[in-house]
């Protein structure tokens, strides 16, 4: 099964910034002539120059507006451990352009490392993947995104480079940049994005590696419970259902096809691997036990997980996931 690495539009059209500089995505409103352009020339030593964005209530993520009709829905694979700590994880994420019904809804796929719990109010997370979110990027394309949270997963942190925290060093990767140069096609070419997140002992930081490029890092000082390592790792899809409560959203997850349709139809994530807190810190296949499949509404979005120890290379542990949302079998 042939799969090519997905390229960002910036790489195919520009290449990279001068040495010592990083590309910064400047999202503007749809009526702006410079919507979604790339600003170059930001000194990479100033990874903390960004400020939190201030938005009006109408522009905010509906998930934060406490609307009872808004719901996050998932199709993901998760494993957690009460004792073992994970120092990293990786995966190859199939890139598609899912249809998103409303501008305030989103569709994403991601890798998540988490520690702590919401019960103890010490939940910390790191998320990396791609998402389609018109309210943020003002288009219908998949974009590389990152996020981090600490203090119960909500009080501190942000997406992309919207606030201090993540320190970018790459002059080639646009955090928040579009992946429109490489979109998978049904029964056609398949593209993927390699994502690796790992803790480095020497720098005491969580490093992000995308498609063979070191993008940057989160200093461990940002976190509380995640300092020692993650006790939960997840791979999968998520959508925001902002429907009226009586009708389910038509927003796609993944390719918009159910997991059961498999190769070249459903979206996949392959090479699910983790790093445990051992002196060697090497990647090993994600264990099937202890683990669980979390599917919020299986009649709307589904998931299948596979493991074959005899498979070569990066297809030893993989998953298909996704769905079309609103159908006869998924009315609400």
Provide the residue ranges of all domains of the chain, joining segments of one domain with +.
Answer: 4-43+67-322
φ and ψ of 121, to 5 deg = 60, 40
What integer pLDDT is reported at residue 122 of this predicted model? 86
- Give the CA distances from residue 4 to residues 93, 100, 130, 173, 193, in Å, rounded to whole numbers and listed in that order: 11, 25, 16, 17, 9
User: CATH classification of 4-43+67-322, choosing from 3.90.580.10, 2.60.40.420, 2.60.120.200, 2.160.10.10?
Assistant: 2.60.120.200
What's phi and psi for 13, nearest 5 deg? -100, -30
pLDDT at 220 over 50: yes
pLDDT band at 292 (very low <50, low <70, confident <90, very high): confident
pTM metric for this prediction: 0.86
Cα 148 to chain centroid distance, Å, stands at 11
* Residues, the chain: 332
Phi-psi region of 30 (alpha: psi -120 to 50; beta: other; left: phi over 0): alpha
The answer to whether the CB of 217 falls within 8 A of the CB of 203 is: yes
| 236-275 pLDDT per residue, tens | 999 999 877 789 999 999 999 999 999 999 999 999 999 9
* β pairing state of 156-159 and 143-150: antiparallel
pLDDT for 26 equals 76
Read off the pLDDT of residues 21-60 as tens digits, 9 standing for 90 and up: 888 887 656 554 333 444 444 444 333 333 232 223 233 3
Cis peptide preceding 290, ω within 30 of 0 = yes
- DSSP character at residue 103: T
């Amino acid at each position: 099964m042939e799969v090519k690495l997905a390229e960002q539009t910036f790489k195919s059209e520009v290449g990279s910034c001068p040495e010592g500089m990083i590309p910064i995505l400047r999202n503007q409103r749809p009526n702006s002539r410079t919507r979604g352009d790339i600003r170059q020339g930001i000194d990479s030593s100033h990874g903390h120059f960004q400020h939190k964005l201030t938005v009006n209530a109408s522009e905010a993520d509906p998930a934060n507006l406490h609307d009872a009709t808004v719901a996050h829905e998932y199709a993901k694979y998760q494993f957690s451990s009460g004792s073992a700590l994970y120092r990293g994880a990786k995966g190859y994420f199939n890139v598609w352009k899912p249809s998103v019904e409303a501008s305030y809804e989103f569709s994403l796929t991601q890798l998540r490392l988490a520690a702590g719990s919401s019960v103890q109010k010490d939940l910390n997370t790191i998320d990396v993947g791609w998402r389609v979110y018109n309210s943020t990027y003002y288009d219908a394309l998949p974009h590389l995104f990152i996020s981090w949270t600490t203090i119960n997963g909500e009080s501190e942190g942000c997406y992309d480079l919207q606030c201090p925290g993540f320190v970018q060093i790459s002059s080639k990767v646009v955090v928040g940049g579009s992946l429109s140069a490489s979109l998978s096609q049904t029964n056609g070419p398949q593209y993927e994005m390699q994502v690796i997140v790992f803790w480095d002992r020497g720098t005491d930081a969580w490093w992000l590696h995308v498609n063979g490029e070191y993008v940057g890092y989160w200093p461990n000082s940002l976190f509380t419970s995640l300092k020692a390592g993650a006790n939960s790792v997840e791979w999968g899809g998520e959508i925001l259902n902002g429907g009226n409560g009586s009708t389910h959203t038509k927003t796609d997850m993944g390719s918009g096809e159910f997991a059961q349709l498999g190769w070249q139809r459903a979206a996949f994530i392959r090479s699910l691997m983790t790093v445990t807190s051992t002196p060697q810190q090497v990647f090993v296949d994600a264990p099937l036990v202890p683990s669980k499949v979390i599917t919020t509404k299986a009649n709307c979005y589904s998931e299948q997980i596979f493991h074959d120890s005899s498979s070569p290379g990066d297809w030893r542990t993989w998953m298909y996931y996704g769905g079309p949302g609103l159908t006869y079998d998924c009315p609400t």
